[in-house]
Copies of this chain bind each other. A is one copy, B any other.
Amino acid sequence: MKNYELVLHRVEADLAAGRLRIGGRLPGERVLAEQLGISRPSVREAVRVLEAMGVVRTATGSGPEAGAVIVAEPVSPLTAVLRLHLATNHLPMGDVVQTRILLESWAAREAAGRSPELGPVVELLDRMDAPGLSPEEFHLLDAEFHVALAGLAGNVLIAAVMESLRSAIHGYVLAAVPSLPDWEATAVGLRGEHRAIVSALAAGDADGAAGLVTAHIQGFYQAARLPS
Contact = CB atoms under 8 A, between A and B. Distances in A.
Interface of A: 4, 12, 15-16, 21-22, 41, 44-46, 48-50, 52-55, 70, 72, 74, 77-78, 80-85, 87-88, 90-92, 95-96, 98-99, 102-103, 106, 155-158, 161
Contacts of A80: 53
Given A48-B4, A85-B54, A161-B161, A106 B102 contact: yes
Contact of A22 (B52, B54, B74, B90): B90
A140 B85 CA distance: 26
Determine the main DSSP class of A at the interface with B.
Answer: helix
A72 B90 contact: yes
Nearest to A157: B95
A53 B85 CA distance: 9
8 contacts: A4-B48, A41-B44, A53-B84, A55-B85, A70-B88, A78-B81, A102-B103, A161-B161
A91 B48 contact: no
B85 A74 contact: yes
A107 to B, nearest CB: 10
Nearest to A153: B98
A52 B77 CA distance: 10
Contacts of A72: 85, 88, 90-91
A140 to B, nearest CB: 21
Contacts of A4: 48
Contacts of A82: 74
A102 B102 contact: yes
